[in-house]
Amino acid sequence: MFKAKSFFLSLSIVALAFTLISWGSTGHYKINTASGLSFNSQMAQFNVWISLLAEHASDADIRKAWDPSEGPKHYIDIDNYPEFLNTGNIPTSLDSAIALHGSNFVYDNGILPWATLASFDSLQACFERQDWDMAVLFAADLGHYIADGHMPMHITRNYNGQFTGNTGIHSRYESGMVNTYISQFIYEGSEPALVDDVTTYVFDYLYETYPFVDSILAADDYAYALAGNTSSSTYRQALWEKTQSFTIPLFSRSSHALATLIYTAWVNAGSPDMNPSLLPDQLDNKAAAFLQSAPNPFSSSTKISFQLSRQTAVNLMVYDLNGRMVANLSEGMMNPGEHQLEWWPVDLESGLYLLVLQTENSTDYQKVLYNK
């Protein structure tokens, strides 16, 4: 019999998950999706990946909620390395960095470039053994880490402007502004080139991105002086005015870098053909997948549809922003096929809620907005 406690998520973990799956998700979705515009003719078979790359673009963020090793993979406070301040470079080997500075220093300051390289190596290994199901997931993670490496505030100790009087700029820039102007991020794609030295390639784009830290802080000062606040449309418009000239190219470079590294990993693996019978499917690696929650937003009830690939124990729960479980919609064994359950909130406030669908080997999430 399925036991809820076997899959229980602590309140603090679920509350944290809300934060992690919301900010920046629009940008990551856009970057992973646009990477397909750079797929060359040799990569035509990878067009079937585009929707999955987008769908799984924020998987790495979601993992932070329960995997304590995930957080350091998303940033590097590169300006805490004295050699970077002196020479503009840091050791490119994780072992060398640890030998020079110690493990605590390196992990406290983030391991973004090495997480990126590890994802690339895993992707290439998947290509070599023709494990297409896992390959697309590693590719999605690779896109996430590449995008973080092209976001200037992910590669500085002053990641939130806390040392320069710009506290809060991280989310104002990465989410507030980007979400407002995402329709203006136009990328037409360009041919990927085979990368001879992936390590140098990754570190080079980090070094090229870092100078924009000061540009973002200066733009924040300008926008605040003009608007008198940091929350108005006037502020966001002014921030966009000062940053769009480099923000759009950073997005484009991220998408191109993902296509380039997928292409490089595939060529390095011998350019295997994708067997149509092994095309990635959301249900191949897990028992269940959400299909939809509709309507969303909703005012009275919403119908939650999901699909099971096999008979499995299922627990469908709803959590609020404080990580409190407010409803348990289903618990027990279910047969394969499509299922639909309806949620009628009782005595709950309007706001965001998190649907958590757990099976014996998977966990899926979906945000829903309740406006009573």
User: CATH 2.60.40.2550 spans which residues of the chain?
Assistant: 281-370
Radius of gyration of the chain (CA): 22
Superfamily of domain 21-278: P1 Nuclease (1.10.575.10)
CA atoms within 13 A on the CB side of 277: 0
Provide the token pair at 240.
């966009």
Nearest alpha carbon to residue 155 among 199, 196, 115: 115
361 close to 6: Cβ distance less than 8 angstroms: no
Q: What pLDDT is attached to residue 21? A: 41
Helix axes 233-268, 132-149, angle to 10 degrees: 140
| Distance of alpha carbon 297 from the chain centroid | 23
Full pLDDT tens readout for the chain, 372 residues: 343 434 344 444 444 444 444 436 889 999 999 999 999 989 989 988 988 898 899 999 988 877 889 999 999 999 999 999 999 999 999 999 999 999 999 999 999 999 999 999 999 999 999 999 899 999 999 999 999 999 999 999 999 999 999 999 999 999 999 999 998 998 888 999 999 999 999 999 999 999 999 999 999 999 999 999 999 999 999 999 999 999 999 999 999 999 999 999 999 999 999 864 444 444 445 666 665 788 878 889 999 988 888 888 998 988 876 667 899 998 899 998 888 899 999 899 888 787 888 887 777 777 778 887
Q: Does the domain made of 281-370 have the CATH classification 2.60.40.2550? A: yes
Q: What pLDDT is attached to residue 289? A: 65
Q: What pLDDT is attached to residue 305? A: 87
User: CATH 1.10.575.10 spans which residues of the chain?
Assistant: 21-278
**pTM of structure:** 0.72
